[in-house]
Amino acid sequence: MRIDIVTIFPEFFGVLDVSLVGKARQSGLLDVRVHDLRDYTHDRHRTVDDTPYGGGAGMVMKPEPWGEALDAILAVADQTEPQDPGVSSVVIVPSPAGRPFTQKEARDLATVDHLVFACGRYEGIDQRVMDHAATRPGVEVREISLGDYVLNGGEVAAIAMIEAVGRLVPGMVGNPESLTEESHEDGLLEYPSYTKPSAWRGHEVPAILLGGNHGAIAAWRHDQQVERTRRVRPDLLPDQP
């Protein structure tokens, strides 16, 4: 999978050199490239923002540098063979005004050959950048929110999404079974986990986990998932009649 990131803060993305994503980059499974939006400006001050039409607080990111950056990045993608001839690139614009990011969205994005993260700052990016990108053949634009809170820009949200998507790319996680037994994969939160010692600071590991009865353990874990989901995230459960 190829991932291009456009940002005015390339230094944010140093974290993509470590851990699983870092290893996947070294092995060639993930080809991640970070681009400085200011490299696509032409004035002495490398200006990327301006005041909003219609007035209001804050600044809006100008369309021209974004247009040139996406032209360069998507032109390269045009020359590579897509897995799905319909959509070859998805441009993701992290934004609190986007649709919520979910495990389902991560699974879907993990099947795409080419992701482009367009990280906005200030009051966002001129809407025409997204509207124009969406007219390009083979390009889909998705505005996606990490949650109902406001970050200073899209960079932290992009890093979270890259980690969530990257670990679902086949070959990234050593034991793929561990991917199916975690929170949100079956619509429930994960059950609690324990390791040795069996007693620690007066807290015991639940006896059922020490007994070796795999059927009973599976049933107990499922009950724990349901109980935890009902307590912490009742919104994830189907409506009770």
Using CB under 6 A as the binding rule, the residues of this chain from 191 to 230 that contact ligand ADE are none
Task: Read off the tokens for 70.
Answer: 């996406």
Cα–Cα distance, 100 to 165 (Å, whole number): 14
Beta carbon of residue 90, minimum distance to ligand ADE (angstroms, whole number): 15
Beta carbon of residue 117, minimum distance to ligand ADE (angstroms, whole number): 10
Query: Which DSSP symbol is given to 23?
Result: H
Beta carbon of residue 29, minimum distance to ligand ADE (angstroms, whole number): 25
> From the centroid of its chain, how far is CA 145?
9
Using CB under 6 A as the binding rule, the residues of this chain from 76 to 95 that contact ligand ADE are 94-95
Q: With H, G, I as helix, E, B as strand and everything else as coil, classify residue 47.
A: coil
Using CB under 6 A as the binding rule, the residues of this chain from 147 to 166 that contact ligand ADE are 147, 149-151, 153-154, 157
Contacts (Cβ under 8 Å, ≥6 apart) of 73: 4, 6, 35, 116
Total interface residues for ligand ADE by CB under 6 A: 12
Cα–Cα distance, 85 to 78 (Å, whole number): 11
Among 41, 145, 225, 229, binds ligand ADE (CB under 6 A): 145
Nearer to ligand ADE, 150 or 207 (CB): 150
On whether the CB atoms of residues 6 and 35 are closer than 8 A, the answer is: yes
Phi and psi at residue 208, in whole multiples of 5°?
-60, -30
Q: Contact between 187 and ligand ADE (CB under 6 A)?
A: no
Q: Contact between 172 and ligand ADE (CB under 6 A)?
A: no
Query: Which DSSP symbol is given to 194?
Result: -
Q: Residue numbers of the site for ligand ADE (CB under 6 A)?
A: 94-96, 145-147, 149-151, 153-154, 157
